[in-house]
């Protein structure tokens, strides 16, 4: 790995940076209007009593430039847990330096160390650069699956 890149686990003091990167991701995905969380809400969810999400931060020359947000899921067919990568984001001006790959490599390493069966994520259909990146590392799209979502206003 590039010695200018370091990957570390996020702490509560990183909440402002985490929230800033979430807002940048939403802007990139043209979904800024869907952000309803706050720094306080994130802090409770990410570091509170019932936390279940993990966050890795990527630093380049000591500055936070990306993050991976993920959590444990389960495969009934494998009979093992896995990792679901909710978001992988690297600041646009920092792309192409190996930062996204370093974050993904760390998640894969965690899955191996924990004896998990797989790592999964979703990508927007129009995000060609991300799709190309994921295919380049050997990931395969699951073309026979459709993601469904039920939001809290429906239950």
Please write the tens of the pLDDT for every residue from 12-64: 999 999 999 999 999 998 999 999 999 999 999 999 998 899 999 999 999 99
Domain ranges of the chain: 5-154
Q: In the structure, what pLDDT confidence band is assigned to residue 1 with cuts at 50, 70 and 90? A: low
Question: Annotated catalytic, 28?
Answer: no
CATH of domain 5-154: 3.40.630.30
List C-alpha distances in Å: 117 to 83, 109, 130: 8, 12, 23
Mean pLDDT of 133-142: 90
**Global confidence as pTM:** 0.91
Contact 80, 33 (CB under 8 A): no
Active-site position among 60, 89, 116, 134: 134
What mean pLDDT value characterizes the chain?
94
């Amino acid at each position: 790995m590039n010695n200018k890149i370091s990957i570390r686990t996020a702490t509560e003091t990183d909440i402002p940076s985490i929230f800033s990167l979430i807002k940048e991701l939403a802007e990139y995905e043209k979904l800024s209007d869907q952000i309803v969380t706050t720094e306080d809400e994130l802090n409770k969810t990410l570091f509170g009593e019932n936390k279940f999400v993990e966050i890795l931060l990527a630093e380049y020359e000591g500055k936070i430039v990306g993050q991976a947000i993920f959590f444990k899921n389960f495969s009934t067919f494998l009979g093992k847990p896995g990792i679901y990568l909710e978001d992988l984001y690297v600041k646009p001006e920092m792309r192409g330096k190996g930062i996204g790959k370093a974050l993904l490599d760390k998640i894969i390493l965690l899955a191996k160390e924990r004896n998990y069966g797989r790592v999964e994520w979703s990508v927007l259909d129009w995000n060609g650069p991300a799709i190309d990146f994921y295919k380049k590392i050997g990931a395969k799209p699951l073309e026979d699956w459709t993601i469904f979502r039920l939001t809290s206003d429906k239950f």
